[in-house]
C-alpha cells in the first residue's frame, strides 16, 4: 500500500489515494469520490495534484476493513524517500483519529446535556404555570358556588332582622 505522510507537530499522518481508500474500506471509488464531493470526507491535494485522504478521516466515515488494519507493515514514500511504517505507526494514527472522534462525541454529549437541562427547566415552568391556572380556575369555581348559595338563601323571602 502506498502512502504519503504529513509531518505536523512531529507526528505522522498516513494518507492514501482514492483507489487505495476504496480498497481499504471495501467501498467503490465512486462512493469515496461522492463523499469527497459532498464534503463528508476531508481530503488534501498533494504535490502531484492528487487527492489524498487521511486514514483516520477515512476510518471515521467508512470503517477500514480488518485485513487492512492488521497489516504488519506498510511501505510509503516521503519526499521520494522510502520508509517502513510499522503496525504501531498505523495504530498511532488510528488512535489519534479515535481521540478526535471521542472529543467530538464528548462535545455532542455536552450539547445534548445542555439541551436536556433547558427542556427540563421549560417543562418545570410550564407545570408551574399549569398549576397556577388550575388554582385560578378553582377560585372561579368556588366563587360561583358561593354566589349560588347566597342566591338560594335570599330566595326564602324577606324577614325582620330581630325575628327568628
Local confidence band at 112 (pLDDT 50, 70, 90 cut-offs): very high
Is the pLDDT score of 152 beyond 80? no
pTM value is 0.37
Instruction: Choose between 82 and 61: higher pLDDT.
Output: 61
Is residue 132 in a domain? no
User: Sorting pLDDT into bands at 50, 70 and 90, what band is 142?
Assistant: low
Mean pLDDT of 106-129: 94
Average pLDDT over residues 50-60: 86
Mention every residue, 6+ apart, whose C-beta is less than 8 A from residue 64. Answer: 24, 25, 55, 58
* Residue 162 domain flag: no
Measured CA to CA, the distance from residue 54 to residue 44 in angstroms comes to 8
Residue range(s) defining the domain that contains residue 25: 4-96
User: Is the residue at 118 inside a domain?
Assistant: no
For 53-64, what is the mean pLDDT? 84
Amino acid at each position: 500500500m502506498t502512502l504519503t505522510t504529513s509531518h505536523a507537530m512531529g507526528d505522522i499522518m498516513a494518507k492514501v489515494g482514492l483507489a487505495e481508500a476504496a480498497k481499504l474500506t471495501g467501498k467503490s471509488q465512486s462512493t469515496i469520490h461522492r463523499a469527497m464531493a459532498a464534503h463528508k470526507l476531508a481530503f488534501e491535494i498533494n504535490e502531484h495534484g492528487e487527492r489524498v485522504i487521511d486514514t483516520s478521516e477515512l476510518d471515521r466515515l467508512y470503517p477500514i476493513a480488518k485485513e487492512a488494519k492488521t497489516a504488519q507493515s506498510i511501505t510509503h514514500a516521503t519526499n521520494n524517500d522510502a520508509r517502513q511504517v510499522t503496525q504501531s505507526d498505523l495504530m498511532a494514527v488510528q488512535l489519534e483519529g479515535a481521540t478526535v472522534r471521542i472529543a467530538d462525541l464528548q462535545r455532542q454529549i455536552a450539547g445534548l446535556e445542555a439541551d436536556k437541562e433547558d427542556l427540563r427547566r421549560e417543562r418545570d415552568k410550564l407545570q408551574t404555570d399549569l398549576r397556577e391556572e388550575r388554582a385560578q380556575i378553582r377560585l372561579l369555581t368556588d366563587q360561583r358556588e358561593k354566589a349560588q348559595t347566597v342566591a338560594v338563601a335570599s330566595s326564602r323571602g324577606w324577614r325582620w332582622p330581630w325575628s327568628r
